[in-house]
Amino acid sequence: MTEDMSPLMSFFHMGGYWPYIWPAYGVVAVLLIGLLVWTLVALKRSKLELEALEALAPRRRRRTETSPAGGPDDAQP
Amino acid sequence: MRSRKRQRLWIACIGLILLGAATALALNAFEDNLVFFHGPSDIAAGKVEQGRLIRIGGLVQENSVNKIANTAKIEFRITDGVAATPVVFEGILPDLFREGQGVVANGRLDANGLFTASEILAKHDENYMPPEVVEALKKSGQWKMGGGAAPNAAGGNS
Amino acid sequence: MAEAMASPNPSGGFFHRLANPARFQRLSAWLMPWLVLITLGCFGAGLYYGLYASPIDYQQKDTVRIMYVHVPAAWLAMMSYSTLAISGFVALVWRHPLADVAGAATAPIGAIFTFLALFTGAIWGQPTWGTWWVWDARLTSVLILFFMFLGYIAIRNAFDDRARAGRAASLLAIVGIVILPIIKFSVDWWNTLHQPASVSKLSGSSMDPAMLRPLLIMAVAYMALFGVLLLLRMRLELTRRRVEALQMARAGAATP
């Protein structure tokens, strides 16, 4: 079965285990790339939102309102 | 303010130690339920109940695999190097099933000590090697795996 | 990466320097191109060796190639959980805001890697063991790890008060650290269908160098990708929190 296959065909054939190997690699590729794209899109969107809000806000307020990164904790009590 | 941080650090560390101790005790108590399969030695020692659905694991004994005439059944023995259990099975064997290979069988033990399996799973060992390397090792007589009692494949280290 | 930021260094000065989001942004901007380069290079080389330029296994034949995506996913799942637990510890004990951000950013990444380990493991199990899934100690403990990532995400979304949500989630992450030794040693402590470790053995690796190479290259690729994703998600989390703070301020200004 494997003798009369072209090198490309036998690469995709994977010794008969192609129904296992390719889906495994495929799921990894889809989910990892999906996570990356989802993150990038969300980052872009929230940056635009932030820019819009900063344009609206009066200049003097930015320093005091935007500084806490983690909420009103006692980081510097 | 520094003392409050120190206090939180102490609480967290003591909490973690207690948590670790509690987990260790719990795992120790449930030891028997966490074991996926029993070995032939457990059966020989009478630790395994008859008629209940259980799993036994070990190596397929060399030269023990037989097709039973006029049926689709096969028989073989599972060994852990100390004791061996005879097994009969009818069904699809995994690709890795062969003599000297680790297997886990799911089934019931009868009063005569015969294990009737309804499912056979292959247990892979942790060695990964190209076939040429295995051939070379066998030729030079350094091949240790696959035959006899490889303790890891038998899983007898509980 | 995350460990560097979240390492429990007792000197408060170090923390407070890193707690500054502007400093974090600078550090992450410097790291990002290197991480992207390593990710692309190692995935390229890893896929070439893993799928093509490596031998088949003497028993498993070609299915051994699934190992090159499965094992690094499992390693990264555990690394993600370590990051989550260390972040939680630092966030709870030192109330370090950036640690809280790191924890929130890690959870979805860890969940994805754990899912990939489970899913590719099932695909690998069918041709080698003869089953997709068994309830042995290794597989079950990794499934619990997956639920812990989901639980962490759920707790973060369950509270309206972000600080309280962060504390509850951090506590869960710390308590859950016991799962890591259980996963690691499950194959040694109990009989499992899953085979014991091949690479991290005291007696040296029981894997042929020709197979170890693609595995380690893929592991580096996964780790670099983890770094890229973590930095991006931390930026996302920081931006979202700033947006929230600005919106609150505007709401407060509108109704004095």
Which of C67, C129, C195 minimises the CB distance to B125?
C195
- 3-state SS record for chain C: CHHHHHCCCCCHHHHHHHHCHHHHHHHHHHHHHHHHHHHHHHHHHHHHHHHCCCCCECCCEHHHHHHHHHHHHHHHHHHHHHHHHHHHHHHHHHCCHHHHHHHHHHHHHHHHHHHHHHHHHHHHHHHHCCCCCCCCHHHHHHHHHHHHHHHHHHHHHHCCCHHHHHHHHHHHHHHHHHHHHHHHHHHHHCCCCCCCCCCCCCCCCCECHHHHHHHHHHHHHHHHHHHHHHHHHHHHHHHHHHHHHHHHHHHHHHCC
Question: Residue B34: what pLDDT?
Answer: 77
Residues of C in Cβ contact (< 8 Å) with A53: 243, 246-247, 250
Residues of A in Cβ contact (< 8 Å) with C95: 70, 73-75
Indicate the pTM of the whole model.
Answer: 0.85
Q: What is the pLDDT of residues C12-53, one digit of tens each?
A: 455 555 567 788 889 999 999 999 999 999 999 999 999 999
Question: Residue C230: what pLDDT?
Answer: 97
Residues of B in Cβ contact (< 8 Å) with A77: 1, 4
Total number of domains constituting chain B? 2
Question: Residue A3: what pLDDT?
Answer: 57
B29 shares its domain with B40: no
Tell me the C-alpha distance between A7 and A31, whole Å. 29
Lowest mean per-residue pLDDT among C27-31, C111-115, C218-222: C27-31
pLDDT for A75 beyond 50: no
Question: Residue C192: what pLDDT?
Answer: 87
Whose CA is closest to C183, among C144, C209, C157?
A: C144
Tell me the C-alpha distance between C78 and A14, whole Å. 30
**Domains of chain C with bracketed CATH:** 32-196+214-249 (1.20.120)
Tell me the C-alpha distance between B87 and B76, whole Å. 5
B122 shares its domain with B103: yes
B68 shares its domain with B141: yes
Interchain contact C233–A (C-beta under 8 A): yes
Question: Residue B150: what pLDDT?
Answer: 39
- What are residue B78's DSSP bridge partners? B60, B85
B63 shares its domain with B103: yes
Query: What mean pLDDT value characterizes chain C?
Result: 89
B63 shares its domain with B128: yes
B8 shares its domain with B65: no
Lowest mean per-residue pLDDT among A1-5, B24-28, C34-38, C69-73: A1-5
Q: What is the pLDDT of residues A57-70, one digit of tens each?
A: 665 444 444 444 44
**Residue C152 to chain B, least CA–CA distance (Å):** 18
Residue from B124, B139, B143, B152 to probe the interface with C (highest C Cβ count within 10 Å) = B124
Assign residue B146 the CATH number of its domain: 2.40.50.140
Residues 6+ apart with CB under 8 A from C195: B123, B124, B125, B126, B152, C187
Residues 6+ apart with CB under 8 A from C126: A20, C132
The neighbours of chain C, by the rule of 3 or more Cβ pairs under 8 Å, are: A, B
Report whether C178 contacts B22 (CB < 8 A): no
- Indicate the residue type of C131: T
B107 shares its domain with B150: yes
Size of interface A-B (CB pairs under 8 A): 3
- Residue B149: how many other CB atoms lie within 10 Å: 14
The boundaries of the domain holding residue B58 are 36-154
B79 shares its domain with B108: yes
Which of A24, A40, A57 minimises the CB distance to C69?
A24
B115 shares its domain with B139: yes
Q: What is the pLDDT of residues C91-100, one digit of tens each?
A: 999 888 899 9
B157 three-class SS = coil
Lowest mean per-residue pLDDT among C144-158, C172-186, C190-204: C190-204
Alpha helices, H only, chain A: 7-13, 18-56, 62-66
B48 shares its domain with B22: no
Q: Which two tokens stand for residue C65?
A: 């190639």
Is A43 in Cβ contact with C98 (below 8 Å)? no
pLDDT tens, N- to C-terminus, chain B (158 residues): 567 888 888 888 888 888 888 888 888 777 777 788 888 888 888 877 788 888 999 999 888 888 888 888 899 999 988 889 999 998 888 888 888 888 999 999 888 889 999 999 998 888 888 888 888 888 887 776 544 333 343 333 33
Report whether C102 contacts C5 (CB < 8 A): yes
